[in-house]
Amino acid sequence: MSDRKDKIIEASIKLFNEKGCLNTSTRHICESIGISVGNLYYYFKNKEEILIEIYTRHLETIFKEVKLIDYESDDVFLFKDFLLNHIIEEEKHNFIYLELNAIVSKFPKFREIKIQNLKLNTELLKKLIKHQINYKYFIPLSNHEIDFLIANAWSIGLNSINYWNLLDNDLKLNRQKSSLNMYYLMKPYLTSKAYENGDLDEALDKLNKGLVNEND
């Protein structure tokens, strides 16, 4: 992977996060790293290809671990790995979640990749939840309930950060709150076994660290 290409990707991510993908022109990207427009188009056929490259790299990072899960092992998964480890990665690609639908309606090729991936991920999550049910970390759920739980997990994974960002500007804190959102979505379905080895409590402690305690 060429250095220049990486720089374009990084600058794009930075600007897309700062001002939105749709409000960032290819010229802006070039100016921000001091290269010519032509040079950007030497590395990328068009703006959509930049987006696709960013998204593809992001997904690779995100799902590396999920794909390697041992579905035969008796282990609680969701929170330690999925919620905590990927906070930084997700923070870096916030704009994808913030603007997804506007992006999807403007870039049809990206849309196709997104849909393809959504289907794949839905299957992976379904498998994962069934595994957690199987090993009694989750209470039993019907297929119907699992489908809607996944849909809700997707919405929250995508959007809860936006909610907190609209309310205040502490991005780091908001990312932690966003993870807690996922936890609270799942909590009603967790069994006591899920908490047994202390991993989950430990994870929650980390997340709550820094959060203003608002309990009554």
The option from DNA, its own copies, none interacting with 48 (CB < 5 to 8 A, set by class) reads DNA
Asked if 110 and 45 touch (Cβ cutoff 8 Å), the reply is no
Per CB under 8 A, contacts with its own copies among 165-194 are: 166-167, 177, 180-181, 184-185, 188-189
User: For tokens 């010519």, what's the residue?
Assistant: 36
Contacted by 100, from its own copies, DNA, none: CB < 5 to 8 Å by type: its own copies
Binding site for DNA (CB under 7 A): 2, 4, 23-28, 35-39, 41-43, 45-48
Asked if 215 touches its own copies (CB under 8 A), the answer is yes
Those residues whose C-beta lies under 8 Å from the C-beta of residue 91, and which sit 6 or more positions away, are 171, 172, 175
Q: Which does 66 bind (CB under 5 to 8 A by kind): DNA, its own copies, none?
A: none
Question: What is the C-alpha radius of gyration for the chain, rounded to an integer number of angstroms?
Answer: 19
- Determine the Cα–Cα distance for residues 153 and 175; give it in Å rounded to an integer: 15
**120 is a site residue for its own copies (CB under 8 A):** no
Q: Which of its own copies, DNA, none sits in contact with 215, Cβ below 5 to 8 A by type? A: its own copies
Residue 72 or 216: which CB sits closer to its own copies? 216
Compute the least distance from the CB of residue 190 to its own copies, in Å.
Answer: 11
Q: Following CA atoms 142, 145, 150, 155 in sequence, which dihedral angle do they give, to the nearest 10 degrees?
A: 180
Residue type, 204: L
Which 48-77 positions form the footprint of its own copies (CB under 8 A)? none
**C-alpha to C-alpha distance for 200 and 182, rounded to whole angstroms:** 13
Q: Which is nearer to its own copies, 28 or 111 (CB)?
A: 111
Contacts with its own copies, residue ranges (CB under 8 A): 19-23, 98-106, 111, 114-115, 118-119, 122, 142-145, 147-149, 151-152, 154-156, 158-160, 162-164, 166-167, 177, 180-181, 184-185, 188-189, 213-216
